[in-house]
Copies of this chain bind each other. A is one copy, B any other.
Amino acid sequence: MAHADTDAAPRSLCPISLALDVVGDKWSLLILRDLMFAGKSHYRELLQSDEGISSNILAERLKRLVEAGLLTKTDDPSHKQKAIYRLTAMGIDLLPAIAQLGIWGRKYQPVTKESAAAAAALEKGGPELLKTMKAELRRQHLGKQAAE
């Protein structure tokens, strides 16, 4: 069983450290990336990321992220089987951090042309573009459920 305790005692009270206690692992930010940029919302879609996350890890991370308040999990009204994972406002607010990591990655790590283009646009667009993207994410993920 071994339930994942979301609050396993913070390492320190530094905000950066606290943030890393939540998303400072190998996969969480990539899951959020797929929800933000790839428009994914189902377990199966998230399982098919390029990086190849394992099913148990994905399940555990999704649970953690829901418990931490970054995601919501609701039943798909059409297909009873599927669950829909959506970002909360708290999750959407990680967009700037993730975007900055992308900008850095594009600048210093060898990368394909296409992914470079997106990151370049982000860097040039700056805060304006981020605002636009956050507004879009809010519509998609928070849309019909208003608060929370």
A: which residues have CB within 8 A of B? 10-22, 24-26, 29-30, 33, 49-52, 69, 90, 93-94, 96-98, 100-109, 111-112, 115-116, 119, 126-127
Partner of A15, one of B19, B69, B115, B126: B115
What are 21 inter-chain pairs, A to B, with CB distance below 8 A? A11-B52, A13-B50, A13-B112, A14-B33, A14-B51, A14-B115, A15-B105, A15-B119, A16-B33, A16-B101, A17-B30, A17-B50, A18-B111, A20-B26, A24-B25, A94-B104, A96-B100, A97-B97, A97-B101, A100-B100, A127-B127
A15 to B115, CA, bound (A): 7
Known: A14-B102, A15-B103, A17-B50; 10 extra A-B contacts, CB below 8 A, are A12-B51, A15-B102, A16-B102, A18-B109, A19-B109, A21-B109, A93-B107, A93-B108, A97-B104, A127-B127
| Nearest 4 pairs of A and B residues by beta carbon | A15-B105, A19-B105, A97-B100, A12-B50
